[in-house]
Chain A
Amino acid sequence: MEGREKYQLKIEDIHLSFGGLKALNGVTTGVRSGEIFSIIGPNGAGKTCLLNCINRFYHPEKGKTLFEGQDLSRLKAHKIASLGIARTFQNVELFGHMTVLDNIKLGAHIHMKSGSISGGIYYGKTRREEMALREHIEEEIIDLLEIEQIRKKTVHTLPYGLQKRVELARALAMRPKILLLDEPATGMNLEETEDIARFILDINEEWGVTIILIEHDMGVVMDISDRICVLDFGQKIAEGEPEEIRHNEHVIRAYLGEEDVTYSRLGA
């Protein structure tokens, strides 16, 4: 039916449970190269769980994830980064006591070579590598995300909105092929949300990065997504273009909570 090559990231029949709670119940979906793919659904639908399975933070009982044809199921969590999968978190996971610049530099960890001896000597190749990194970060990332004025600040002193932006910057420093964004616009005012939406579009168009987006702000999701996948109680209930999703009766039922045995919250 659907060729495997068609998808950059393919998720096949993922099952994940915590004790008796079924967090993901046979989710199958695929993300095409270069698109903005949104995952939406009510709270507790398993959206973040799905990202955690891709990242190998969670180990699903059943099912596999294929990235460009490679099975991720056997890889260690730290190996995922080198394939080109970057991510931001719902609750910012930055390195609080480091500066913004150092946080972003950490994103480039996998692209650098200096070791514990050459790093301590800091001469020649290591020095050139560090300078090239600084230049890349300044000109490509800091400039794009408009965070010039905070680059030397310690991260935990920054307001939440800016921290989210720094986290995005750090993910970009990984030069990812695919970027998983977990609620990038949560807790932001209208102006900041618009900024974030603009950044996501820029990254997608200028860098050609595939984006998987979890977001509750329906305005943003409907505006920028190419395709949307809707989860409810660990199951995929719909997938398609924004216009289809908007009129899908399962989706409306899940969000508005109509009396229905299958999707009723009382039954869970």
Chain B
Amino acid sequence: MRCGDFKDTYVRDEAIFQSVFVKVWLALFLVCLLIFPFLANEYVLYIVNLIGIAIIGAHGLNLLTGFTGQISLGHAAFIGVGAYTSAILITRVGIPFWWSVPMAGIMSAFVGVIIGIPSLRIKGLYLAIATIAAQFIFEYVFMTWESMTRGIRGINVPDPELFGFRFDTERKFYFITLFFVVVGTLYARNLIRTRVGRAFIAIRDRDLAAELMGINLFRYKLTSFAISSFYAGVAGSLWVSFMNIVTPEHFPLSLSIEYLAMVIVGGLGSVLGSIYGAIFMVLVPEILRFGTDFIKDIPAFQHIFAPLREVVFGALIVFFLIFEPRGLAELWRRMKNFFLLWPFSY
């Protein structure tokens, strides 16, 4: 129950974290996140790291698709560009991990802007097809530009270091991931409540009226592509240092689709939605793996065991699209509203 919360200044009304109650909970949550790695085992931390990296990537795609309304099926390619940029900079040029992350972001942003140029003329499904082209071009480049990417042999990347401290385990890497997730989330949340973010949403909702407000459509669409790809580049860069290896087959079209599924299941046009979606898409297959382990022992189910997991996963996504089309973020919002007045329903 947290009704009876009134604001007396515009500053308080504009705040992201609206009440002391929320701030306390958030602080507690952050403390839990910091203690968490010391309680969990390496396997759980491995999954959590993957979730964190997926969250960063999903933030990027949600800014582009959820907020600006530009569908992209080339997100995996942008992640790949970031991953390769980072790997090449670390191994060939000898730049430390910390510098390679923003540079990978900038490289991806640059590529994203070029791929985004058609967005001025084409929309919706047509743009999706145009961005698939990026996907195929970059998969091909990763595979065949052997002098740079070493083709299918891939590049081995060392662990990040800071003042002689090596982030060589999942537990240590967790803190890097957590840092980038928190920064990325705050940035996205702030961006969408200021001028540029509002322009993005305006373009999504009604581009003609947006132009009338003095919003330069071309510039803001490209800005959106740049920011989105920057996130992708950072995600790719983290991923490569976490996995210690990068090969071309890590960035297929299906990864792009998976990211699109994340933002749809989580909630298009919601910063929290990207987080929920990323958690869902990474965690559910793992849970299903445990959940279906027991039927492995039943002889009749042995052959359909592996596909069954995919089917259940797919069914879950369809279920969400039908019953909660606005994503997990909306579900969460309704739950909060319910408890706002609980136990009095009026």
Interface residues of A (CB under 8 A from B): 55, 57, 76-82, 86-87, 89, 93-98, 102, 105-107, 109-110, 112-116, 119-122, 126, 130-131, 134-135, 138, 170, 174
In the assembled complex, the CB of B45 is this many whole angstroms from the nearest CB of chain A, namely: 29
A98 to B198, CA, bound (A): 9
A71 to B252, CA, bound (A): 51
Q: List 8 A-B contacts (CB under 8 A).
A: A78-B212, A87-B212, A98-B198, A119-B191, A130-B194, A131-B10, A134-B13, A134-B14
Residues of A within 8 A of B217 (CB): 78
A135 to B13, CA, bound (A): 11
In the assembled complex, the CB of A124 is this many whole angstroms from the nearest CB of chain B, namely: 12
Contact B190 A97 (CB under 8 A): no
B82 in contact (CB, < 8 A): no
Residues of A within 8 A of B11 (CB): 131
* A55 contact from B10, B212, B216, Cβ within 8 A: B212
Contact A95 B202 (CB under 8 A): yes
Q: List 7 additional A-B contacts (Cβ < 8 Å) besides A89-B209, A110-B214, A134-B14.
A: A78-B211, A78-B214, A80-B214, A95-B205, A98-B201, A106-B202, A131-B10
A114 to B199, CA, bound (A): 12
Closest 10 pairs between A and B when the two form their complex, measured CB to CB: A81-B214, A119-B194, A95-B205, A122-B190, A110-B214, A93-B209, A120-B187, A120-B191, A134-B10, A112-B195
B281 in contact (CB, < 8 A): no
Contact B10 A138 (CB under 8 A): yes
Contact A109 B208 (CB under 8 A): no
Residues of B within 8 A of A131 (CB): 10-11, 14
In the assembled complex, the CB of A108 is this many whole angstroms from the nearest CB of chain B, namely: 8
Residues of B within 8 A of A135 (CB): 10
In the assembled complex, the CB of B207 is this many whole angstroms from the nearest CB of chain A, namely: 10
In the assembled complex, the CB of B329 is this many whole angstroms from the nearest CB of chain A, namely: 13
B227 in contact (CB, < 8 A): yes
Residues of B within 8 A of A79 (CB): 214
Beyond A93-B206, A130-B14, A134-B14, whether A109 also contacts B213 by CB under 8 A is yes
Residues of A within 8 A of B223 (CB): 116
Contact A109 B212 (CB under 8 A): no
A79 to B219, CA, bound (A): 13
Beyond A112-B195, A116-B196, A131-B10, whether A94 also contacts B209 by CB under 8 A is yes
In the assembled complex, the CB of A113 is this many whole angstroms from the nearest CB of chain B, namely: 8
Contact A120 B190 (CB under 8 A): yes
Determine the main DSSP class of A at the interface with B: helix
In the assembled complex, the CB of B225 is this many whole angstroms from the nearest CB of chain A, namely: 12
Contact A78 B215 (CB under 8 A): yes
Contact B198 A106 (CB under 8 A): yes
In the assembled complex, the CB of B270 is this many whole angstroms from the nearest CB of chain A, namely: 11
A76 to B217, CA, bound (A): 11
Residues of B within 8 A of A120 (CB): 187-188, 190-191, 194
A122 to B17, CA, bound (A): 14
B193 in contact (CB, < 8 A): yes
Interface centre among A80, A102, A105, A120 (most CB of B within 10 A): A120
Contact B194 A97 (CB under 8 A): no
Interface centre among B194, B215, B223, B227 (most CB of A within 10 A): B194
In the assembled complex, the CB of B298 is this many whole angstroms from the nearest CB of chain A, namely: 48
In the assembled complex, the CB of B32 is this many whole angstroms from the nearest CB of chain A, namely: 25
A122 to B197, CA, bound (A): 12
B277 in contact (CB, < 8 A): no
Contact A82 B214 (CB under 8 A): yes
B269 in contact (CB, < 8 A): yes
Beyond A81-B212, A96-B205, A174-B214, whether A109 also contacts B199 by CB under 8 A is yes
B27-46 near A? 1/0 per residue, CB < 8 Å: 00000000000000000000
Residues of B within 8 A of A57 (CB): 208
Residues of A within 8 A of B216 (CB): 76, 78
Residues of A within 8 A of B227 (CB): 116
In the assembled complex, the CB of B67 is this many whole angstroms from the nearest CB of chain A, namely: 10
* A97 contact from B188, B195, B197, B205, Cβ within 8 A: B205
B211-241 near A? 1/0 per residue, CB < 8 Å: 1111111000001001100000000000000
Residues of B within 8 A of A86 (CB): 212
Contact A102 B213 (CB under 8 A): no
Residues of B within 8 A of A122 (CB): 190, 193-194
Name the CB-closest residue of A to B198: A106
Name the CB-closest residue of B to A93: B209
Contact A97 B201 (CB under 8 A): yes
In the assembled complex, the CB of A103 is this many whole angstroms from the nearest CB of chain B, namely: 9
Name the CB-closest residue of B to A137: B10
In the assembled complex, the CB of B232 is this many whole angstroms from the nearest CB of chain A, namely: 16
B290-316 near A? 1/0 per residue, CB < 8 Å: 000000000000000000000000000
Beyond A109-B213, A134-B14, whether A94 also contacts B196 by CB under 8 A is no
